[in-house]
Structure 1
Amino acid sequence: MINYGIIGAGMMGQEHIRNIRLLGGVRIDAIMEPDAHMRARALNLAPEAAVVDAIPDMLARRQLDCLLIASPNHLHVPQLEEIARLRPLPLLVEKPLYTVEADTERLAALERSYPAPIWVAMEYRYMPPIALFLERAGAETGGIRMLTLREHRFPFLDKVGGWNRFNATSGGTLVEKCCHFFDLMRVATGAEAVRVMASGGQVVNFLDERYDDRVPDVWDSAYTIVDFDNGARAMLELCMFAEGSRYQEHLSAMGPSGKIEALVPGPTRFWNVNSGPAPVPRIVVSPRSPVSEQVLDVPVDPHLLEAGDHNGSTFYQHQKFLEVVRGRGKVEVSMSDGAKAVAIGLAAQKSAERGGAISL
């Protein structure tokens, strides 16, 4: 039996709990969540869990085998450091790994010295249609030369205290939301970013909201172009006031041999059933010769769709992380991977604010 400690049990923490409980041979041993409402909801999902008020109390529980950090973004680095000082256990930490450039050296020191596995939660890699896209992209394109990622989705959901409404606590939209896509760019191209140029801003969402006289400043739309060291180019188009879209994510990779696309619907719970059945994820392959198109449905287990908003990816990620905890697997998303995705996002935020390209 593997015992989990949950640090942060808000909306995303609860999705993790639901998926952990699907694994078998595991239990939630303790939950640390300061918000009473979210804590109560988490305990409904894991009534066996003890409630702790601080990380030292969590780590004093000797039966713990591993940790999940799903707290607000700006807390990740200090919490990692506290765990490293007191009792470094295998852990899965939610993205983004960090939110400000000043934290890069702190994380580098942690990566060098932390004696247990750390997995950064880049769930999008494990969505079944995106996983198949990544698996087949090289062969179908003959080597990716152009990559376009589009996300047309709903606005940021309500989080405790509105922390995701502000750049200071979220890291900014191109970090908080888009580090997923910059990670996918790195994985798909097999290369590292060298230059970033972006344009973005807050044009529709949250303009009339107030939090103790603070006005939300997180962006809701952007374009980002990334050049890679192997000559590939990638572009992200983000719109967070387009929840009417049939597919939330649309990935396209092009190369000398052809094109491959992945079409990913948004969370099933947001689909308007009056408009018909929810869309099924798809892969579309379009070779240049002979000119043709192959469409492949990639359905996701309905039980996994009910357990979260990420097309089953949270479950598949936890399956692999559990193998690492049991000593039978390897970390697939390292601290270095998480840090590089954030670095691209921070460069994109800076580019959009200042104008012009940012070299990495």
Structure 2
Amino acid sequence: MKVINYGIIGCGMMGQEHLRNIALLEGARVAAIFEPDEIMAAAAKAIAPNAKLEASIEDLLARDDLDCLLVASPNHCHIDALEQIAELNPLPLLMEKPLYTDPADIARVEAIAASYPSPIWVAMEYRYMPPIQTFAEEVQRATGGVKMLTIREHRFPFLHKVGDWNRFNRNTGGTLVEKCCHFFDLMRLILGSDPVRVTASAGQEVNHLDEAYNGEVPDIWDTAYVIVDFATGARAMLELCMYAEGSKYQEEISAVGPNGKIEAFVPGPGRFWPTHLGAPPVAQVIISPRHPKGPQTVDIPVDPTILDAGDHNGSTFYQHARFLELVRNGGVPEVSLEDGAWAVRMGLAAQKAASEHGVIDRI
């Protein structure tokens, strides 16, 4: 079996999660890393000791031994890196979300999509959480066609990142882009439809108000409700709270239709679970038919080794396994550039709706 060589651009917190998961894959290795922060580069080297640290993106892209690339740099760096890759070495690419942060940059994404010669897979890890995969597989049978979809995330505040880039909307695209593009992607996936209308209420209520960086107080939101109408007539709602780290489950998803309801419950990172409470909770999926009544609960456990490699219920590993198969055998990415762009467009529309206290019907 040929060993697939990855080149990695950006190895902060999420990049290091990717490194740990690539190390679990058979027939894959990280050959090269570009990470400008010395502390993060040293941490990445400790995880992937055989990888070479490159001095620039250009140096990494000049190598002729790479089979694929991964971008996990800060959000506002994504579109520039994507353009550099497209120009210098357009290999199969796993591109972390969000694709872009400025509404004006959608034209740059569309130009790359029209000419890039290899697959580009947008890293929407939440699709690959085992309970959410089960939910997506069973949702039509359980509901008879979804009319209402609700996603709730009650979690910990934003963690500290290099240079505190994630404290400011200008770098992240805003919380409803940075954090929530995953959920807007899930809405489109589960409903099989595109959005036609978005309204939202959101703000910064608790977190980061006592912080300052170079005299600036962070402006990222920690609270939101977003309602989305879809072309099929289905409705979806997102509820986000980023000061609820005491919750048993971090994500709760429910879908309801004429035949019944299905729910998925996903625990947060095991490393944050209080040890005095014993083992962390296990993910569950519950199907509740209308006739005959009686909820049916199934636990969805994940291999502990895979759980320990990241903070996303094993999804980063399962995503990489599918991406690696694409690199080896060719095919079409499961999460396309169009999917990634839609997720950002929905997040930006929600940011605008909340800021303007209005309804956005041009997404």
- TM category, shorter: over 0.9
Match of 2:292 in 1: 290
Match of 2:157 in 1: 155
Corresponding residue to 1:216 among 210, 215, 218: 218
State the AA in 1 paired with 2:30.
I
State the AA in 2 paired with 1:217.
D
**Separation in structure 1 between the aligned mates of residue 307 and residue 157 of structure 2, nearest angstrom:** 20
Asked if structure 2 preserves the Cα contact closer than 8 Å seen for 1:133 and 1:262, the reply is yes
Match of 2:83 in 1: 81
Provide the secondary structure at the position in 2 that maps to 1:208.
coil
Asked if structure 1 preserves the Cα contact closer than 8 Å seen for 2:12 and 2:161, the reply is yes
**Separation in structure 2 between the aligned mates of residue 66 and residue 54 of structure 1, nearest angstrom:** 17
Provide the secondary structure at the position in 2 that maps to 1:346.
helix
Corresponding residue to 2:123 among 107, 121, 124: 121
Asked if structure 1 preserves the Cα contact closer than 8 Å seen for 2:169 and 2:220, the reply is yes
Provide the secondary structure at the position in 2 that maps to 1:133.
helix
Match of 1:181 in 2: 183
**Separation in structure 2 between the aligned mates of residue 171 and residue 21 of structure 1, nearest angstrom:** 31
- 2:250 aligned with 1:240, yes or no? no
**Separation in structure 2 between the aligned mates of residue 213 and residue 34 of structure 1, nearest angstrom:** 24
Q: Deviation string for 1:255-288 (max 9, x for gaps)?
A: 0000000000000000002123210100000000
**Separation in structure 2 between the aligned mates of residue 325 and residue 276 of structure 1, nearest angstrom:** 40
Give runs of aligned pairs for residues 23-102 of structure 1, distance below 5 A: 23-102=25-104
**Separation in structure 2 between the aligned mates of residue 8 and residue 278 of structure 1, nearest angstrom:** 30
Match of 1:307 in 2: 309
- 2:281 aligned with 1:279, yes or no? yes
Q: Deviation string for 1:159-179 (max 9, x for gaps)?
A: 001111110001100000000
**Separation in structure 2 between the aligned mates of residue 76 and residue 328 of structure 1, nearest angstrom:** 24
**Separation in structure 2 between the aligned mates of residue 267 and residue 289 of structure 1, nearest angstrom:** 36
**Separation in structure 2 between the aligned mates of residue 92 and residue 277 of structure 1, nearest angstrom:** 33
TM superposition shift of 1:328 = 4.4
TM superposition shift of 1:298 = 0.4
Provide the secondary structure at the position in 2 that maps to 1:274.
helix
- Name structure 2 gaps, 5 residues minimum: none
- 2:232 aligned with 1:230, yes or no? yes
Asked if structure 2 preserves the Cα contact closer than 8 Å seen for 1:197 and 1:352, the reply is yes
State the AA in 2 paired with 1:275.
L
State the AA in 2 paired with 1:235.
M
Asked if structure 1 preserves the Cα contact closer than 8 Å seen for 2:96 and 2:124, the reply is yes
Q: Deviation string for 1:100-145 (max 9, x for gaps)?
A: 1100111001001000110000000000000000000011000000
**Separation in structure 2 between the aligned mates of residue 92 and residue 320 of structure 1, nearest angstrom:** 11
Provide the secondary structure at the position in 1 that maps to 2:158.
coil
- Name structure 1 gaps, 5 residues minimum: none
Give the structure-2-normalised TM-score. 0.98
**Separation in structure 2 between the aligned mates of residue 38 and residue 265 of structure 1, nearest angstrom:** 27
State the AA in 2 paired with 1:276.
G
Corresponding residue to 2:166 among 140, 155, 164: 164
Provide the secondary structure at the position in 1 that maps to 2:329.
coil
**Separation in structure 2 between the aligned mates of residue 93 and residue 202 of structure 1, nearest angstrom:** 29
State the AA in 2 paired with 1:155.
P
TM superposition shift of 1:330 = 2.9
Q: Deviation string for 1:35-65 (max 9, x for gaps)?
A: 1111000000001111112111001111011
Give runs of aligned pairs for residues 311-330 of structure 1, distance below 5 A: 311-330=313-332
Asked if structure 2 preserves the Cα contact closer than 8 Å seen for 1:96 and 1:175, the reply is yes
Provide the secondary structure at the position in 1 that maps to 2:196.
strand
Asked if structure 1 preserves the Cα contact closer than 8 Å seen for 2:196 and 2:230, the reply is yes
Asked if structure 1 preserves the Cα contact closer than 8 Å seen for 2:62 and 2:88, the reply is no
Match of 1:250 in 2: 252
TM superposition shift of 1:212 = 1.1
**Separation in structure 1 between the aligned mates of residue 213 and residue 319 of structure 2, nearest angstrom:** 34
Provide the secondary structure at the position in 2 that maps to 1:204.
coil
**Separation in structure 1 between the aligned mates of residue 352 and residue 332 of structure 2, nearest angstrom:** 34
Q: Deviation string for 1:163-201 (max 9, x for gaps)?
A: 111100011000000000000000010000000000001
Asked if structure 2 preserves the Cα contact closer than 8 Å seen for 1:99 and 1:175, the reply is yes
**Separation in structure 1 between the aligned mates of residue 103 and residue 43 of structure 2, nearest angstrom:** 34
TM superposition shift of 1:329 = 4.3
**Separation in structure 2 between the aligned mates of residue 323 and residue 182 of structure 1, nearest angstrom:** 26
Match of 2:23 in 1: 21
Corresponding residue to 1:200 among 186, 189, 202: 202
State the AA in 2 paired with 1:207.
L
Match of 1:140 in 2: 142
State the AA in 2 paired with 1:16.
H
Provide the secondary structure at the position in 2 that maps to 1:326.
helix
Identity within the alignment, %: 64
**Separation in structure 2 between the aligned mates of residue 15 and residue 253 of structure 1, nearest angstrom:** 30
State the AA in 1 paired with 2:290.
R
Give the structure-1-normalised TM-score. 0.99
State the AA in 2 paired with 1:117.
P
Provide the secondary structure at the position in 2 that maps to 1:157.
coil
State the AA in 2 paired with 1:282.
Q
